[in-house]
Amino acid sequence: MLSEALTRAESLIRTIPDYPEPGVQFRDITPLLADARALRTVIHAMIAPFEGSFDVVAGVEARGFLLAGAAAMEAGAGLVPIRKAGKLPLPAASVTYALEYGTATIEAHDDIAGGSRVLLVDDVLATGGTLVAAHQLVAELGGVVVGTAVLMELTALGGREVVGDVHTVFTG
């Protein structure tokens, strides 16, 4: 059961039908991000199971950056952005993964020291492809993923079966 503070935070997430295309129910977290109390509540909930077990937070572009940055600050950890291809001047590693129609590539600089314990953070777990690729990317850079945390899991899309163990704050 969610605490009163988490229930309030979840109520700030809007569902926008048919965005960015017909049939998609987009989860808009910007009202939650704009509320300092709600943001602090969800960041605490995201990192609590991993306290003391990570050195770096890796955030997946784009909304995952926002959550990962807050998580890193709260935990006193470093932050490594995982970007879409072509957004970094010196990518050290990249992983290409399948989408429903085509492929996508994510990249990161070589800012994860070998053996660093990494908490991987994103906003939504949907089909799981991006998070699987992010796990591969961290490993390629020499880091060890000690946990994966997402704000929301869209359970109907089956991403957990693809990614494995993921800590989620909300399900939708």
**Can 100 be counted among the known catalytic residues?**
yes
Q: Which of 4, 21, 37, 100 is catalytic?
A: 100
Is residue 63 part of the annotated active site? The answer reads yes
The helix (run of H) or strand (run of E) holding residue 80 is: strand 78-84
Gap between the Cα atoms of 17 and 147, Å rounded: 31
Catalytic residue among 10, 27, 63, 153: 63
d(CA 161, CA 42): 24
Determine the Cα angle at 22 with ends 19 and 26, to 5°. Answer: 30
Give dist(CA 152, CA 155) in Å, integer: 9
Q: Which amino acid is at 106?
A: I
Catalytic site positions: 63, 100
